[in-house]
Amino acid sequence: MAELEADHDHQHQTTKPKKHVAVLPSPGMGHIIPLFELAKRLVVFNHDIHVSFLVINTDEDDSAARDQYLHSHSTHPPGLDVVDIPPVNVSDIVRDDMLILTRICVMVEESLKSLKSVLIKLGKPEALVIDLFCTGAFEICSELSIPVYSFSSPSTAFLTFSLYLPTLDREVEGEFVNLPEPISIPGCSPIRPDDLLDQVRNRKNDQYKWFYLHMSRLPLAAGILVNTWEDFESVPLKAIREHSFFLQLPTPPVYPVGPLIKQDEPSSSSDVECLTWLDNQPADSVLFIALGSGGTLTTGQLLEMAWGLEMSQQKFIWVLRKPDDADASSTFFNVGSDVNDPKSYLPEGFLEKIQGVGLVVKSWATQVAILRHPSTGGFLSHCGWNSTMESITHGVAIIAWPLYAEQKMNAAMLTEELGVAMKPVKGPGETVVRREEISRVVRLLMESEEGEIIRSRVKKLRDSARRAVDNGGSSHNSLSCLVEKWKNEIKP
């Protein structure tokens, strides 16, 4: 009898194996972080899901920061495996003059040549979640009968533009940036030509062709996950679900599952110094300045920023990188490992002048820990979507300093639609924001009544973000709905 019971138990266990989902980001920390946070949430959120997180490896990206993040023990719940795709050498096909997206797409295309064998070795997962620039996986997964879901790491507003792009491409001659009027996306806020993302500013280059190719494949997805929540982007979400334009595409079901943000990260000795310094500052008194994993300032702008911060007389922590006059995203592929001695490029005497008021940190800082610290009262940010989600989730008001990609679109949304950010302006004919303007905006955010109003708006959104991911919240329910779909789908 005991043997029969044991056999019955064994049968019971084997009839219900865990559902297996694979997740595939393209290179770059801005793409890896939200998808890894999604992978973690899936296994913690539902113990019947096992996730394989696939990592692209090439000789072109410096993987130190990535490996530290992906392989740190604190970030690994059971049921989540990090799987390296066989490394590829792309040195013969990647050129120094390639724009950032072209470089990413070439790296992905070469790496996906082994995707089929990786998925077969993993036992053909129930689903594959890819980021926007991995659409070569559609064809491969079609052969294996694996449904593919797209993950949009930027905003839903960016997603609506991306879905509209093939129509825009067909209807507009010449360059989009030369259009006399803002671009009207059906059911959404119009986009000024000046705020368009870098990837569509020149239709003749390879970057535009790659971007167009990947975005035109979005309707092939079984669903689209977005790092946002219902109350935060209700207008573009409503447009995607209800406007006849998006319904006719047809647009796949959209699942808002955010905010997905980094919870914790390993601390270095400079991080400990930062946090100890913050412990001794009054609440909401410190401005945090950080321009994302890839962002750099020009030499002229860095000098104006330094003197503007000093003039403002506000407390600050500045994550500083060597200036680059050619490329605002120059550290995208070597996060935290740039050669960096602030004394060699900061104005003479600056570090002495700011002693006790400001703190300069080289290359990289533990952004999440600084943003959630009670002394942090403002964030001068490049407005990348991950940083935007982190800032709002921790209730920190923003000074918008967009640099590249879709950051101008995000900055416009944060300042004009949501009223949670301020934006400094350049004078007529100026190539840099002057120190007087930087000082004015910093003081406005940190000291004025207007800054106080912005802060209270951000704190309301912070509470809304927390509700969205809590049990029964909109993003929690959206993810539940998707997981149930995966669990009920029968493998062919």
Query: Would you list the DSSP string of 35-55?
Result: HHHHHHHHHHH-TTEEEEEEE
Catalytic positions, written as ranges: 31, 131
CB 26 within 8 A of CB 100: no
Query: Would you list the DSSP string of 177-197?
Result: GG-SS-B--TTS--B-GGGS-
Neighbours of 9 (CB within 10 A): 10
* Dist CA 69 CA 79 (whole Å): 17
* Dist CA 107 CA 177 (whole Å): 28
* Dist CA 490 CA 483 (whole Å): 13
Q: Three-state DSSP class for 229?
A: coil
First to last CA, the chain: 36
Cis bond upstream, residue 236 (ω within 30) = no
Q: What are the strands, taking DSSP E only, across 327-407?
A: 358-362, 376-381, 397-400
* Dist CA 484 CA 305 (whole Å): 50
Name beta bridge partners: 150.
Answer: 130, 224
DSSP 228: S
Residue length of the chain: 492
CA atoms within 13 A on the CB side of 49: 28
* Dist CA 84 CA 70 (whole Å): 11
Reading the block at residue 403, the tokens are 């640099």
